[in-house]
Every structure is written in C-alpha cells, then in structure tokens.
C-alpha cells in the first residue's frame, strides 16, 4: 500500500495561510510568518534544517489544490504554470484538483502538472503513479481536509509556529477526529516540528 505523507506549517490558532491570497501575496496576509523557519530566517537552527529535509524529501507523486497551484480562478484564461518557475521542486507528477479541464503541463526537472476533478480521482492517480516512493498531500488547507476525511494520510508533520494569524485558511475545520500519535518532536525559536504517524 502506498505510504502517504503530508507536511504543513500552521499557526497556533490553526491557520496555514493568511487572508486574501493573491498573485502578489501567495500565502495571504501575514502567511509568510508561518513559513519563516524554512524561508531564510536567521534564527533557524538544526531542528529547522532537519524539518526542511522532511519537507523536501522526494516522493513519487503529489496532490495539491488549485489555490496552491496558482491564483487563477474559474476558467483557465492565462498560461499559468505554477509559482515555482521553470523547474518546480517536485520532480514527479503533481495532480492538481480543479473543476476546469486543462491539458497536462510538463516542466523542467521531471515535474508534470495533471489537472483532475475530485480528491478521490486525484489521489487514485497519484497512488497509481507513485509506486514505492509514496504520495505527498502538498496542500492547501482544503485538500488536506479532504485527505484527512478520506483517512489516507499515514504520516502528518505539523510545524507549529508561535504566531496568531487571527484569520485565513484553517486546516482542521470540519475534521471530526485526529487518529495520529506523535513519533518525533523537534523545536527551534521559530517552530515546533511534530511528526505524527497514523495510530492503530
């Protein structure tokens, strides 16, 4: 069975992105504060480096929401190819959830974005492609909620950042249970990194 991971940075009050995500502000207002531990803050330490390794480990396929892929809403009225430049960090197939059909987009370095309607179909395609390298649920909040509801995540890593965003995109709204147990905890001045595995 495919091992499925998810790694998300989250504020103390449960937000993974701020309000008003846009082309100019892809993480929303104050959203970058939740990601300083891996985006060059000088206070980062060995714990953050280890957690960055967890975040960037290679997987066989990825599933992400359309909002994470880009700021374009509704029909595809422009040639948007993702936030990450010509060579995204995935180096594997990425299945993007959308209600609007789009041809696959091949990028440098082995990443191809495929556009799929519905989490179940996207996750099945990712599993069929990933093989033993496993699947990662890359985000954002809605996609992670769907993965939790479907019970497919085997390992969940949360980088809990000591900030209160007050508003934005919550990850656990509507999630009824949390069937995970912590297996490793690291910390720095910027975040507490908790790696959970599915219990039972």
| pTM reported for the whole predicted model | 0.95
What pLDDT shows up at residue 74? 86
Q: What are phi and psi of 192, to 5 degrees?
A: -105, 120
Q: What are phi and psi of 65, to 5 degrees?
A: -80, 160
What pLDDT shows up at residue 24? 87
What pLDDT shows up at residue 1? 59
Give CA separation, 166 vs 14, 34, 95, 109, 163, in Å.
Answer: 9, 12, 31, 38, 9
What pLDDT shows up at residue 25? 86
Range list of β-strands (E), 12-66: 15-17, 61-65
Query: Could you tell me which CATH number the domain at 4-18+27-70+88-198 has?
Result: 3.40.430.10
| Residues facing 115 on adjacent strands | 96
Per-residue b or e along 150-169, where b marks 16 or more CB atoms closer than 10 Å to that residue's CB: eebbbbbbbbbbebebeebb
Which of 109, 55, 64 is CA-nearest to residue 87? Answer: 109
Ordered mean pLDDT values, 10 residues apiece, the chain (200 residues): 91 93 88 93 96 96 95 86 94 97 96 98 97 95 96 97 95 93 97 95
Kindly state the DSSP code that residue 62 receives in the 8-state scheme. E
What pLDDT shows up at residue 91? 97
| Residues facing 106 on adjacent strands | 112
């Amino acid at each position: 069975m495919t091992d499925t991971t998810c790694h998300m940075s989250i504020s103390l009050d449960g937000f993974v992105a701020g309000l008003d995500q846009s082309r100019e502000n892809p993480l929303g207002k104050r959203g970058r504060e939740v990601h300083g531990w891996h985006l060059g803050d000088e206070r980062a330490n060995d714990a953050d480096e280890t957690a960055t390794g967890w975040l960037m480990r290679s997987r066989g396929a990825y599933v992400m929401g359309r909002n994470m892929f880009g700021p374009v809403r509704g029909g595809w009225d422009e040639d948007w190819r993702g936030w990450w430049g010509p060579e995204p960090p995935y180096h594997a197939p990425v299945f993007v959830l959308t209600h609007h059909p789009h041809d696959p987009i091949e990028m440098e370095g082995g990443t191809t974005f495929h556009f799929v309607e519905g989490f179940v179909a996207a996750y099945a395609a990712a599993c069929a492609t990933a093989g033993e390298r496993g699947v990662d649920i890359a985000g954002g909040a809605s996609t992670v909620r769907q993965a939790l509801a479907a019970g497919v995540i085997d390992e969940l890593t949360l980088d809990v950042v000591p900030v209160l965003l007050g508003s934005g995109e919550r990850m656990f709204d509507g999630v009824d249970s949390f069937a995970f147990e912590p297996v490793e905890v690291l910390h720095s001045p910027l975040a507490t990194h908790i790696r959970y595995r599915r219990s039972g």
